[in-house]
Amino acid sequence: KRNTAQLQALDAAHHLHPFTDHRDLGGRGTRIIERASGVYLWDSEGNKLLDGMAGLWCVNIGYGRRELADAAHRQMLELPYYNSFFQCTHPPAVELASAIAEQAPAHMNRVFFTGSGSEANDTVLRMVRRYWDLQGQPQRKTVISRINGYHGSTVAGASLGGMSAMHEQGDLPIPGIVHIPQPYWYGEGGDMDEGEFGLWAARQLEQKILELGVDRVAAFIAEPIQGAGGVIVPPATYWPEIQRIVDQYGILLVVDEVICGFGRTGEWFGSQYYGIRPDLMPIAKGMTSGYLPMGGVIVGDRVASCLIDQGGEFFHGYTYSGHPVAAAVGLENLRILREEGIVDYAREQAAPYLQQKIAALAEHPLVGQVRGVGMLGALELVRDKRTRERFPGKGAAGTLCRDLCIRNGLVMRAVGDTLIMSPPLVIQPQEIDELFDKAWRTLNMAAEELR
Ligand code: PLP
């Protein structure tokens, strides 16, 4: 067995990482995570870390559930692979599609499977354009999305996303995708009160539709709560106004549930939390609790009936669409979420306690704003609470806290100077206490260094 230094040397020589500045590893080398159980990770040095991020917002049922490994093992022996192209299917894909449709809003009854959330959003772009072609309005191609939204890393996903750093690398977005402001009141609300700002941000959509001409607009896409953008919780006025606008102009509504789906908000889907009526919902992550890669698009009846009844064959699909082993794991994950009442536990017990603890962090001198919904939380670091002045060196305070967190045995993510948490839904009250003890200790240490 190779030791840490040997693994790090090989990693440095051969592994090109996603979202990593290879020059900037602080002389430490990459952190090697070796095993996990429940809400904890262990690295190759034997350090135990509480995973406040559930991996990348995905390990909803927690680590180490043998039932998922057993489901994968059984399925690999029974049928390790077959496709769902050309009038074929297999039992795990059928069972999973129907189980997901049962949990989805009543008007959404079909699932198109993909291998990831990014592929789900590529599928969305093709589906909405296909829908309008079939409606005899092929000029309706433009998709409106939001600045600082995240919809994946493929060309379509990164284009739909509104991350300027991603757009700058690779000449994105592709044509036919335009971005409107995000509903980020704390950072961009100016003098408006929160409710007023929520309406203003939603009406940016209406303005953009009118500017482009409604007959050119295919869809609006957004996350219920922007995750990678910094857990941007929209004001309460935002989603009802968005719903009014998409209904009034008849454009399709795509709600990206890749993070919010499968219980993250305390409801099965973020759309249900906000009472939104989407036409399409991209999903991934919590769909298998990250145990195997899988994504999909839950398709509402309006789009499904058009694609099927008028469209005939949709020339689109992935070798791994509905992969039988991933589907078997997804099905077992869904069974556990349901039978163990994990979404109810998140809504009724874990989330209220987590949110109470997050709210208390607002007292810390470094914390300008706290926000959160369900099992998502964020704390935004500022130098001056009253003026909201930031620390110098964009994101440096966030990075410092993230690194101090690790030293204190906790994983949190930094988005600029915002610290984020999204722990497994199964986290227990004493583990939530531990998470926040470690977060407080981290903030105190950071305050010393930033003074
Ligand atoms: N959509 C949202 C809202 C996400 O947060 C992500 C990933 O973080 C994606 C899409 C892309 O999913 P994947 O990384 O599985 O391609």
CB distance 256 to ligand 1 below 6 Å:
yes
Q: 161, 175 in Cβ contact below 8 A? A: no
CB distance 124 to ligand 1 below 6 Å:
no
Q: Tally DSSP H helices, then E strands, for the chain.
A: 17, 15
3-state secondary structure at position 297: strand
Q: How far is CA 179 from the centre of its chain?
A: 19
The 8-class DSSP code of residue 384 comes to B
CB distance 230 to ligand 1 below 6 Å:
no
Mean pLDDT of the chain: 97
Q: 149, 201 in Cβ contact below 8 A? A: no
Cα(326)–Cα(444) distance, integer angstroms? 43
Q: How would you classify the pairing of strands 142-146 and 177-180?
A: parallel
- Distance between Cα 103 and ligand 1 center (Å): 21
Here the tokens at position 11 are: 């990693």
Here the tokens at position 124 are: 């969305």
- With the most atoms of ligand 1 within 8 angstroms of its CB, the residue from 118, 121, 281 to mutate is 118
Q: Which CATH architecture has domain 67-339?
A: 3-Layer(aba) Sandwich (3.40)
Q: 217, 140 in Cβ contact below 8 A? A: yes
CB distance 227 to ligand 1 below 6 Å:
yes
Burial (0-12, 13-18, 19+ Cβ within 10 Å), 316: middle
CB distance 279 to ligand 1 below 6 Å:
no
- Distance between Cα 151 and ligand 1 center (Å): 5
Per CATH, the number for 31-64+341-450 is 3.90.1150.10
Cα(341)–Cα(343) distance, integer angstroms? 6
User: Which amino acid, 240?
Assistant: P
CB distance 123 to ligand 1 below 6 Å:
no
Peptide bond into 173 cis (omega under 30): yes
Which one, of 304, 268, 3, 276, lies nearest residue 128 by Cα? 304
Domain extents for the chain?
31-64+341-450, 67-339
User: Fold match between 31-64+341-450 and 67-339?
Assistant: no
pLDDT tens, residue by residue, 151-209: 999 999 999 999 999 999 989 999 999 999 999 999 999 999 999 999 999 999 999 99
CB distance 297 to ligand 1 below 6 Å:
no
pLDDT tens, residue by residue, 361-394: 999 999 999 999 999 999 999 999 999 999 998 8
- Distance between Cα 56 and ligand 1 center (Å): 9
pLDDT tens, residue by residue, 384-442: 999 999 999 889 999 999 999 999 999 999 999 999 999 999 999 999 999 999 999 99
Res. 448: pLDDT tops 70: yes
CB distance 228 to ligand 1 below 6 Å:
yes
The 8-class DSSP code of residue 427 comes to -
Residue 384, φ and ψ in degrees, nearest 5:
-135, 110
According to the model, what pLDDT value does residue 27 have? 72
ipTM of predicted assembly, 2 dp: 0.99
CB distance 118 to ligand 1 below 6 Å:
yes
Sign for the CA dihedral angle at 129, 131, 132, 133 comes to positive
Which one, of 396, 302, 366, 427, lies nearest residue 50 by Cα? 427
Atom of ligand 1 nearest to the CA of 257: 3
CB distance 284 to ligand 1 below 6 Å:
yes
CB atoms within 10 A of CB 360: 13
Cα(355)–Cα(357) distance, integer angstroms? 5
Atom of ligand 1 nearest to the CA of 149: 3
Model confidence, pTM = 0.98
Atom of ligand 1 nearest to the CA of 152: 11
Here the tokens at position 426 are: 């199964």
